Structure formats: C-alpha cells, structure tokens
Amino acid sequence: MLIAEFEKTLTPPLKWAGGKRWQVPLLQRGLEGIRYKRLVEPFVGGLGVSLGLNPQYALLNDINPHLINLYQWLSRGLVLDLEMENSEDCYYRNRKRFNQNILSGDVHTAEMAGLFYYLNRTCFNGLCRFNSKGGFNVPIGRYKTVNYIRDFTNYAPIFKRWTFTLGDFETVEVLDGDLIYADPPHDVQFTTYFAGGFSWDDQEGLINWLAQYDVPTLISNQSSSRIKELYQDNGYNLLEIPAPRRISSSGDRTPALEVLAFRNIKTFEVL
C-alpha cells in the first residue's frame, strides 16, 4: 500500500511527556496525497504520530530498551497478569521489582513490559527518567483514578505490520520510498530520558545523518533561534506552531512554540 490511511485508530498505550499526538491533524493535512511506502521514526517515543497516521508499514526506533520491549510484546498480543493499583505500596513495590530486573539484566520479558506500562501510567506525569545506575526513579503521580489496560490483543494486528528496533538514530536503515518523521529530544535542558542525553552535537549529527537521504522528511523540535538557523541552513522550510505544555514545574500551561521543519514535501508550504 503506497498511500497512508488517515483513519481513527488505537490510542497510544502510554502517557508520554512531549508526545506529538496533537500534531496529527496538521500532519494529515500536510501529507495528504503524499505517496510513501513506509513511515520511519528514529525517535518513536509514545507512538502518538505513528498510531495517528496509521501507515501500512513502519520502522519505529528508540534508544530506550524498555519502551521497545513493551512495543515488541504488544505486537504479540500482550495480556498482563500483574498487580496494578494506584497506591504507593503497589507503585513502589513494582518500581523496586523493575529496577531489580534491570540490575540482573532480565529486561526483555513480558513481566518487564507490564511493569514499564504500569509505572508509566501511575508515575508523575508519565515521565520517563532514570538515575546514573539505570534505575527508574520517577515518584508516584497524584491521580484520583488510573484506568489500566490488561488485554492488549487489539494492538497486535497493527503492531505486527510494523518493525520496532532499538538503537541510536544513526543505526536506522532508510530506504527509497520512505517518509521520515524525526522528533528528537528538544533543544532545551531536561532531565535524563535515557543514558547519554542529547547534546547540541547530536542535534547537528541528526541533520548530517538525514542529509544522506533524499526522501520526504519532517523534524519536530522546540523553536529556538539556533534550531531554526540549523534547519534553514540545511535546506528545510519551517512552520512555527503553538504546542500544548502539559508538564511544567511552575504550573505554567502557556503554549510553547515548536518548529516543524520539512523538506521534499511541497504540500506543507501552503499550510
């Protein structure tokens, strides 16, 4: 199938700080009529864009092994047999079990997929943060209720069409006919998402890596002066768009400006 189907599909299974589900209507308009064989996301995160666009085929990559482990188990039709309660006792007991498994290297199991899902849904604002030893260290959230899913079999038909890979963005193999949507960590200081962080050298490295592929390409990032300069200097056109600010230590929910950079996609020029 060459044309992506823009249809209402499953919602992302995780809460995800910085998720781009809100961009989907804009992407649908800009990509209408664009023919591509496969969606490629080097930083898949919470699946907001991929589930929103619902391509027939996708290559979805991330550097977070727990995230990719969950998605790979969902493609098998994961059903959870795990204690899941919105309580401190249950949360910190499951977080301790999750971190013990990390230390033992037992990270590719269905149990770890379930624990990661539970921690994400129950922790503060769905943050994904690890300490210097690799342990998940987000405290419990302040929710009156949390709706948990135990049976994920309805995700399997879609996920089986897609390939989930673990690694740095430079390990992703792009083919002719692909569409790239890159949503790297923003050009702002933030708490560690996974070991190593994402520096300015990495922002420049991403642009250099993308330059070798002559395919329709989109990049989403915080709208900073140096990001806009970097993208424009490398042949990208830009749209500045207000983004919902769902997480803020000060309580500020004022929309923040983001930039959507694109090349080889003329339809975005008229939006």
96-149 pLDDT, tens digit per residue, is 999 999 999 999 999 999 999 999 999 999 999 999 889 999 999 999 999 999
Residue 188 banded pLDDT, cuts 50, 70, 90: confident
**Encoded tokens for 164:** 């989930």
Q: Is residue 136 part of a domain?
A: no
Residues linked to residue 242 through DSSP beta bridges, in sequence order: 257
Quick one: pLDDT at residue 1? Answer: 36
Confidence (pTM): 0.91
Beta strand spans in the chain (E)? 38-41, 58-62, 162-166, 178-182, 217-222, 237-243, 256-263
Quick one: pLDDT at residue 271? Answer: 63
Q: Is residue 138 part of a domain?
A: no
Q: Is residue 92 part of a domain?
A: no
Mean pLDDT of the chain: 90
Order across the sheet with 217-222: list the strands.
162-166, 58-62, 38-41, 178-182, 217-222, 256-263, 237-243
Read off the pLDDT of each residue in 7-23 and give the average, rounded to a whole number.
86
Quick one: pLDDT at residue 60? Answer: 98
Query: Which range (11-25, 160-174, 238-252) has the least confidence?
Result: 238-252
Q: Is residue 178 part of a domain?
A: yes
Read off the pLDDT of each residue in 40-65 and give the average, rounded to a whole number.
97
Count structural domains, the chain: 1
Q: Is residue 194 part of a domain?
A: no
Q: What is the CATH number of the domain that holds 223?
A: 3.40.50.150
- Higher per-residue confidence, 198 vs 253: 198
Q: Is residue 141 part of a domain?
A: no
Q: Is residue 244 part of a domain?
A: yes
DSSP string over 195-250 = TT---HHHHHHHHHHHTT--S-EEEEEE--HHHHHHHHHTT-EEEEEEE-----TT
Q: Is residue 101 part of a domain?
A: no
Whether residue 7 is predicted with pLDDT greater than 60 in this model: the reply is no
| Structural domain containing residue 165 | 21-63+154-185+199-270
Averaging pLDDT over each range in 129-138, 189-198, 239-248, which range is the top one? Answer: 129-138
